[in-house]
Chains A and B, each alone.
Chain A
Amino acid sequence: LTGEQVLHSLLEQLQLSQAPVLPGAGAQGAAIPAPMRAQYVALLHRSHGGRSREK
């Protein structure tokens, strides 16, 4: 898997033709709302361990 494939997948999901040019943000992590962070962590765990839990 290459960076190009990840970029392609992201652009496809967001229906964009190219990566957006965004200004750098200082404390990026803090800008993520707590519910979204919790949902992200849940998806991350499922992505890593879904299979072993099924077993």
Chain B
Amino acid sequence: RFSQSFREVAGRLLASEASEASALVLAFGLERRLPAGSELVRAALRLFQRPPPPAAPRRPERSARAQVTVEWLRVLPDGSRRAWLVDSRLVNVHDSGWKAFDVTDAVTFWRQLSPPRPPLLLRVSVRREPLGPGAAGAHRLVRFGAQGPEGAEAAPRLELHTLDLEAYGAQGDCRPEAPAEGARCCRRESYLDLQGLRWAAHWVLEPPGLLLHECAGACRQPPAPRAPPAPFLGPRRCVAAETGPVPVIVRAAAEGGEARPRLLSLPDLRVRRCGCAADGAPLPRPAAP
């Protein structure tokens, strides 16, 4: 496996429904499965596609596909349910074997919830492809391991690929005496003197300057994968992982040409934490996407 740490979590089938699109709801108990001080690199949902029944008619190639969609399902505090799309792909209805779906976003969102966190709920729906009144019902032939009496071997699985932040993450604030060249990813302090800027001198009342931070240094790259890496992911870079607003008071022109103080909050100007993340990988975000 390409990650330093690799865990597999077995899923539990909560519900299944058969309508226009057949759907499964899977539950994964992830509490304490993601070790503290680790960074989630990738989460893959693996579903075993059972072969179609021998009596199933062979359909023309065009209609022998189905669209499998994975959504993160969340029960909101008011009891309502909301689903967010995390991955979708076409499968051949006559195929069988393990299919992998990228559910990194779902696990990332789930991690942002306040403890105690409920199990991670993933809804897997299978729709006919192509859409339209003439489309065949071939999608009903797609059945995953959770739907039958098979043993645990065919049960849905969630693979969690993590990196130890101690070895692969950022190191907090940069040491002032250490040269930035070749340093490990860290948060470097910088000062912006607003009063020294011509446009700000009579406009910005507070603060006189901004004590800010930037992310500097290099990130350790994970070992070369034995399995194909997640698509579209670039090298890990040192980026702002958590930001906050900066308050300022400016003189704003009011009616009558009079300038009055006005309090503003400039979002995301303060870097609170730096982290290493691959290009294209999601950074931790607030719970509601």
Shortest CB-to-CB span from B137 to chain A, Å, is 51
Evaluate contact between B214 and A1: CB separation under 8 angstroms: yes
Report if B206 contacts A (CB, 8 A): yes
Q: What 10 A-B pairs are tightest by C-beta distance, nearest first?
A: A43-B247, A19-B199, A9-B266, A32-B261, A3-B197, A24-B202, A1-B212, A22-B202, A13-B264, A28-B205
Q: Which residues of A contact B (CB under 8 A)?
A: 1-3, 5-7, 9-10, 13-14, 19-20, 22-25, 28-29, 31-33, 36, 39-40, 43-44, 47, 50-51
Q: Is the interface of A mostly helix, strand, loop or mixed?
A: helix
User: When chains A and B are docked, how far (Å) is the Cα of A33 from the Cα of B192?
Assistant: 25
Shortest CB-to-CB span from A12 to chain B, Å, is 9
Report if B12 contacts A (CB, 8 A): no
Complex interface: stretch among B52-60, B66-74, B163-171, B269-277: B269-277
Report if B265 contacts A (CB, 8 A): yes
User: When chains A and B are docked, how far (Å) is the Cα of A7 from the Cα of B204?
Assistant: 10
A28: which B residues are within 8 A, CB to CB?
205, 251
User: When chains A and B are docked, how far (Å) is the Cα of A23 from the Cα of B251?
Assistant: 10
Q: Give 15 pairs: A residue, B residue, CB < 8 Å, sorted on A.
A: A1-B212, A6-B194, A6-B210, A6-B266, A7-B200, A9-B266, A10-B248, A22-B253, A24-B201, A32-B249, A36-B263, A39-B263, A44-B247, A47-B247, A47-B270
Q: Which listed residue (A9, A14, A24, A32) contacts B269, Cβ 8 A?
A: A9
Shortest CB-to-CB span from A13 to chain B, Å, is 5
